Chain A
């Protein structure tokens, strides 16, 4: 039996592999940059730094 392999399947799977290839490339780069290493928790503390010290206090009380 011949499988009906549509043009769209080729097209979409070309895109899939392109995206997967890109993901592999950037994943490896992120490993090299230490995103899963010992310093990987640093960004979560840095993002808590307050850059809005000029706000009225009560606007930050609950929201």
Chain B
């Protein structure tokens, strides 16, 4: 007796089978691999906080080389590559057309891998610019610009040939990501090196870049991913497209001005500090628009979280987004900033944004996309669930330890009677919690990578398993 599955018997859309997805596969599998490699580096760094002499005599493993590798590897090797791979998946589908050029996409992926391998080699060798998030040597940064232009041409080329006039909000966010990244990356990696840009001037531009790298690169890319996959994974239309557009435009107007809040109480103009504080607080507008939209979309659908790993990651990421974007405006206030600035609070906040929010959203996308582009089933949903809980528990342990430790550290620093070295020794328990949490997070990364790679490798084998025959209506 023929099985007639309900979903597969639905009328086939016009866009079916037009997507080649080679670029998607290359970017996503590469990103997952780099996630695991850089995860090892993260663990080494966390261990060095607890045992400073650990691998200390080997130059390649010193903190000064490991830390830039961890930061750049996670940002460009994992997260941006994953977001680019997901963009190659999302945009053609939203536009109802093929990717503008699959060959260009493959070439971009190859170039991106050359960039990441070059970054690993140069940063391990100690060749770096020493600028936050812009450590890559200039020749490698030039390659990033070339790759980004190739990516932009392909995505905008696809959008230009779209079937539908009105674009879904994810397309808007991805277009914003491409354009904003151009400004932000050039500022952080090249304008900072111009003659006369030294000292405070350089710091000002660096923080404009660093903060906007999160706010105008990873935020719009991550939200594009979430706006696409929350409705698709839950099979529920977005609550309000109009509200999503309000969120997008308010982000576009507000975010770019906030970078200087990293230098509050520093040697920059007071008026510049005040502007950055005002716009930081105004960030609550786009954040609430986004979070309300996501939560309202899930109204009546929360039961799906029980057996839907992608949704688990997406909605946890949403909660972390709300938390991190509440933290940001609050610690930009002068009174709070006087305590937490330069303390462990900041990496706690940054990890919640980059790992807890945008990596969670990217992982949700990868879990959703990989079985589809390989036309198979996920290798193991049990492992996927385990990876989620390891990420969640490990992440919460790490974020919380760093927030509390940061406050404690800040209070101690504000007391001139306490010798600095005592404040370092006092933080050791906090760093131990971070290390143990890091082991859990790394466990999550390994399971995630194993599951995704196994899904890709075993695709042909599982395809051979007889599937229910689709019956057209």
Give the docked Cα–Cα distance between A56 and B180 (Å). 39
Select the residue from B93, B237, B308 with max chain A CB neighbours within 10 A. B237
Which of A3, A6, A43, A56 lies in contact with B167, CB distance below 8 A? A43
Contact status A43-B377, CB under 8 Å:
no
Among the listed stretches B6-14, B50-58, B354-362, which one makes contact with chain A, having 4 or more residues with CB under 8 Å of it? B6-14
Q: In the docked arrangement, what's the CA distance between A46 and B238, Å?
A: 11
Known: A7-B196, A63-B309. A52 touches B168 (CB 8 A): no
Which residues of chain B have C-beta atoms less than 8 A from A5's C-beta?
Answer: 269
Q: Which of A19, A34, A48, A60 contacts B256 (CB 8 A)?
A: A19
A-B contact pairs, 24 of them (CB 8 A): A8-B197, A8-B205, A11-B191, A18-B183, A19-B183, A33-B165, A35-B245, A36-B245, A40-B242, A40-B245, A43-B168, A44-B231, A44-B241, A47-B170, A49-B15, A50-B7, A52-B372, A53-B11, A53-B470, A55-B375, A57-B5, A59-B378, A62-B308, A63-B308
* B252 adjacent to chain A (CB < 8 Å): yes
Are A33 and B166 in contact, with the CB atoms below 8 A?
yes
Question: Are B12's CB and A8's CB within 8 A?
Answer: no
CA distance A41 to B245 in the complex (A): 10
The answer to whether B205 touches A12, judged by C-beta atoms less than 8 angstroms apart, is yes
**Cα distance, A34 to B164, chains bound together (Å):** 13
Minimum Cβ distance to chain A for residue B208 (Å):
5
Q: Which of A20, A43, A56 contacts B241 (CB 8 A)?
A: A43
Measured in the bound complex, the distance between the Cα atoms of B241 and A48 in whole Å is: 13
Q: Does B201 contact A (CB under 8 A)?
A: yes
Of A8, A20, A39, A47, the contact of B204 (CB 8 Å cutoff): A8
- What residues of chain B have their CB less than 8 Å away from a CB belonging to chain A? 5-8, 10-19, 93-94, 164-170, 179-180, 183, 187, 191, 196-197, 200-202, 204-205, 208, 228, 231-233, 235, 237-238, 240-242, 244-246, 249, 252-253, 256-257, 259, 267-269, 271-272, 307-310, 367-368, 371-372, 375-378, 381, 384, 467-468, 470
Cβ contacts under 8 Å, A42 to chain B: 166, 241
- Neighbouring B residues of A7 by C-beta, 8 Å: 196-197, 201
- B256 touching A59, Cβ below 8 Å: no
Query: Is there an interface contact between B231 and A20, defined as CB atoms closer than 8 Å?
Result: no
Given the interface contacts A7-B197, A51-B93, does A40 sit within 8 Å of B378 by beta carbon? no
- For the A-B complex with A27-B249, A63-B309, A63-B381 known, give 19 more contacts whose Cβ atoms are closer than 8 Å: A4-B269, A8-B204, A9-B272, A11-B191, A11-B197, A12-B205, A15-B208, A19-B183, A20-B253, A47-B170, A48-B237, A49-B15, A52-B372, A53-B16, A54-B12, A54-B16, A56-B375, A59-B378, A62-B307
Q: Which among B183, B208, B309, B467 is the interface contact of A56 at CB below 8 angstroms?
A: B467
Which residue of A9, A19, A48, A58 contacts B232 across the interface (Cβ within 8 Å)?
A48
The count of A-to-B residue pairs whose CB atoms sit within 8 angstroms is 165
A22 CB to nearest chain B CB (Å): 7
Interface size classification for chain A: 35 or more
- Residue with the greatest number of chain A CB neighbours at <10 A, chosen from B6, B10, B196, B241: B241
Complex Cα spacing A5 to B10, Å: 63
* A63–B196 CB distance below 8 A: no
Residues of A within 8 A of B308 (CB): 62-63
A residues within 8 A CB of B14?
51
